[in-house]
Structure 1
Amino acid sequence: MICFPNAKINLGLNIVGKRPDGYHDIETVFYPVPLKDALEIVAADNQSFTQTGICVEGLPENNLVMKALRLLKESHPIPFLDIHLLKAIPFGAGLGGGSADAAFMLKLLNDFCELGLSTEQLEEIAIKIGADCPFFIQNKPVFASGIGNVFTPVELSLKGYYLCLIKPDVSVSTAEAYSLVKPQKTSISLQKIVQKPLSEWKQYMTNDFEKSVFARHPLIGEIKEKLYQSGAIYASMSGSGSSVFGLFPEQTDLKDHFSDCFVWEGSLL
C-alpha cells in the first residue's frame, strides 16, 4: 500500500507571545501544497525501513515515520513491514515534510491494518510526534494558533495559482530563529488577512522570522525579492525557513534563475 505525503507552506507567521513553558504562541495559516514524498508499506517476515531520494541526516530509527509506527504499536497489533520512503520534500525547509511523512504513516497503517481509528484519534496520536503533525491528518487549510497545534478551519482556495518554491543550500536553526524574535500582538488577525484579495496580502501579511533570518542569511531575503521581481503576487519565507515561495497568476519557469537551489514549480489545488 502506498501514499504520497505532501508539504505545506505557512501563509504568514506571527509570534504573539512567550509561554511559561518556554515555547511561543504563534498565529499562522497552514496550506497544503502538491510537492510530495512517496511512502510504501508491504507485509514482511522482518521489520525493515529504507529511504531513497533526498538524503536525510540521522539514524533510520529516528525518522518520524518510525516514531509513528512505534506509537501505534504501543496500543495496536502491527505486523512486520517493509517500509520504503522516497524523499522529495527538502528537510529543514519549513515545509513540514517530516511531520507529513509521520501523519501519512499513521493513516496508512490505519488503513492497511484495518484499525478503525477515527480522524480525532489519529490527530491525538499525531500531536505526540509534533505540533504541526495533526494538520496532515485532514490536510486542509487551517488557521493555527497556540504552539501551532490549535487548528481552526479556513475557507481558502488558491486553486488556479502557481507556486514556485525555492530552497537554498542554507540551514536555519528553528531555536535560533525563535530566540531572535520579540513576540508582539498583531493588529489584524491572519484569519481576516487571508480573506482579503491575494493582491493585498503583500501589504498586510508578514512572517516575523524574516527580519532576523534575512539579516543572518541575506541569500534567503534575496530569493524573496527575486520572486517579486519575477511577477509573484505574494512571496514569503515558509515557517522559520529556509525555503521561500512565490504565488503567481501564471505558470512559471524560474529554474534557471535559481540554479544553485532546490526549485519546485506547479499549480495549486
Structure 2
Amino acid sequence: MYSINAHAKVNIFLKITGHKEDYHTLVSRFMRVEDLYDTIAFVPCECDSFTIEGCEDVPLKSNTIYKAYKALNEHTGDLDILNFFYKHKVVVTKRIPSQAGLGGGSSDAAAFMRLVKEACNLLLSTEELAQIGSRIGADIPFFVYNYPSANVSGFGEIVHPFEEAPLKLELFTPDIG
C-alpha cells in the first residue's frame, strides 16, 4: 500500500492583482499547516474504473484527485498509470474541513500526483508536476513543491520558497462553506 499526507495551508497574506477570463492573478504567502492533513492511500483492489473512496460528497468529475488523474494520463500517455488504477483504489481520509480556505482539495490532488509519480516510477520533474497541477487549480503547485512556506504569484504557478519560523496556529472553522 502507498500512502502520503496532504497538508492544509493558510494564507499569511493574499492580494488579488488582476484577472483574466475566469481566473484571478495573485500575490500571496502560503504556509503549510503541519498538524492538519488528509491522508491519500492507494489500496490494492480489483477495479473496473478509477475509484475514489472517502469523498462521496464530491461528484467524481468535480473531484480534484480525479482531475489530477486525468491530467497525468493526458500529459504522459503512460499506460502504467491506467493499469495501476485497475489494481488499486484511492482512499482519502479527510481531516481538512471542506470549503474552509485551507486548500484541502488542492492538497489532495498534489499529494495524489506526487504519490502516482512514486508508485508508477514516472520520469517527471517536480516542476513538470507543478505545471500539470496549475491547469487544475491555483493552489496545487504550492502543494506539489511541498515547501513549508512560499511566496506564490501569477495564477499560482510561480512558487518561491520562503524561509520563516513556523507559526503556532489555532484554527477555527465554522460549519459553513
Q: Report which of the two structures shows the higher radius of gyration computed on alpha carbons.
A: 1
* Residue 51 (str. 1) matches residue 34 (str. 2): no
Q: How many residues align?
A: 165
Q: Supply the distance in 1 between the matched residues of 2:116 and 2:22 (Cα, whole angstroms).
A: 34
SS of alignment partner, residue 156 of structure 1: coil
2:78 equivalent in structure 1: 76
CA shift at 1:5, angstroms? 0.4
Contact 2:130 2:157 in 1 (8 A): no
- Aligned partner (choices 166, 178, 186) of residue 172 of structure 2: 166
Q: Supply the distance in 2 between the matched residues of 1:148 and 1:123 (Cα, whole angstroms).
A: 10
Deviations 1:74-117 (A, max 9, x none): 22121212111111101111111100000010111111111122
- Aligned partner (choices 128, 132, 136) of residue 143 of structure 2: 136
Greater strand proportion:
2
Q: Supply the distance in 1 between the matched residues of 2:21 and 2:8 (Cα, whole angstroms).
A: 28
Q: Supply the distance in 2 between the matched residues of 1:148 and 1:37 (Cα, whole angstroms).
A: 21
* Residue 67 (str. 1) matches residue 67 (str. 2): yes
1:10 equivalent in structure 2: 11
CA RMSD in angstroms comes to: 1.8
CA shift at 1:129, angstroms? 1.1
Pair 33,84 (structure 1): closer, same or farther in 2 beyond 3 Å: same
Q: What is the identity, as a one-letter code, of the residue corresponding to 1:169?
A: D
Which segments of 5 or more consecutive residues in structure 1 lack a partner in the other structure?
172-269
SS of alignment partner, residue 166 of structure 1: coil
CA shift at 1:28, angstroms? 1.1
Q: What is the identity, as a one-letter code, of the residue corresponding to 2:27?
A: E
Identity %: 35
Which segments of 5 or more consecutive residues in structure 2 lack a partner in the other structure?
none
2:154 equivalent in structure 1: 146
Q: Give TM-score, length-normalised by structure 1.
A: 0.57
- Aligned partner (choices 102, 105, 114) of residue 107 of structure 1: 114
